[in-house]
Amino acid sequence: MKPGPLAFSLVSGAVAAWLAVACSSTPGSTDKFTVTGPNPGDFSATTGGVGPVFERHCGSFDCHGNPSRAMRIYSQNGLRLPNEAGILPGAAVTTPDEVSANYRSIIAVEPEQTNSVTLGKAQPDSLLIIKKPLGPGPGEAHKGGTVMIKGDDTEKCLTGWLLGKVDKNACTAAAQLP
């Protein structure tokens, strides 16, 4: 026995209602999302922050200053964000838009885990941005090798930032290292 027009109408109506509910939660272009992460204000070079450390240690063209990398770092002497002023590598200091893009890129590596660290539910060394530069570990190969050592200024700067206690002296020193 074939379903009649009433059954078809009921099924069609149910499917339409389900689609309306399912699609009603789709974010629009004006929706805003809150990401809980380390203070972006502590990222800027003008505040003695963390950004210059990432630029110095990770922003070269053969590392995260490469446009093909997922965690992309823009810097004065590396990759530049496309801009109307035509700023090229080696020209002007890192722009506020580049600093903001760097922050978002770093947070985007592991947003949920970064949130957990920021809220004190996990340790900074649970994050790839800390584990990988500390050197090879189980399943954590880092193409750039060891970039920081446990307890050095770079590690103090990054972990302090993640915990909301930026060590500006450590950040300043780490940004100067070769």
Binned at pLDDT 50, 70 and 90, residue 84 comes out as confident
100 has a pLDDT exceeding 60: yes
Q: What percent of the chain has pLDDT over 70?
A: 78
What pLDDT score was predicted for residue 121?
94
What pLDDT score was predicted for residue 113?
94
What pLDDT score was predicted for residue 143?
83
Of 14-18, 75-79, 104-108, 151-155, least confident by mean pLDDT is 14-18
What pLDDT score was predicted for residue 4?
54
Of 37-41, 45-49, 114-118, 160-164, least confident by mean pLDDT is 45-49
Signed CA dihedral, 66, 67, 70, 75: sign only: positive
Predicted TM-score of the model (pTM): 0.75
What pLDDT score was predicted for residue 16?
47
> Going by C-beta distance under 8 Å and a sequence separation of 6 or more, which residues neighbour residue 165?
none
What pLDDT score was predicted for residue 1?
53
pLDDT tens figures, 20-67: 444 445 556 666 655 578 888 888 877 778 999 999 989 888 888 888
Q: What percent of the chain has pLDDT over 90?
A: 44
What pLDDT score was predicted for residue 172?
93
What pLDDT score was predicted for residue 19?
45
**Is residue 118 a contact partner of residue 38, using CB atoms and an 8 Å limit?**
yes
What pLDDT score was predicted for residue 33?
53
Q: What share of the chain is helix, strand, coil (3-state, %, to 5)?
A: 45, 0, 55
CA distances from 87 to 59, 83, 97, 154 (A): 16, 7, 12, 28
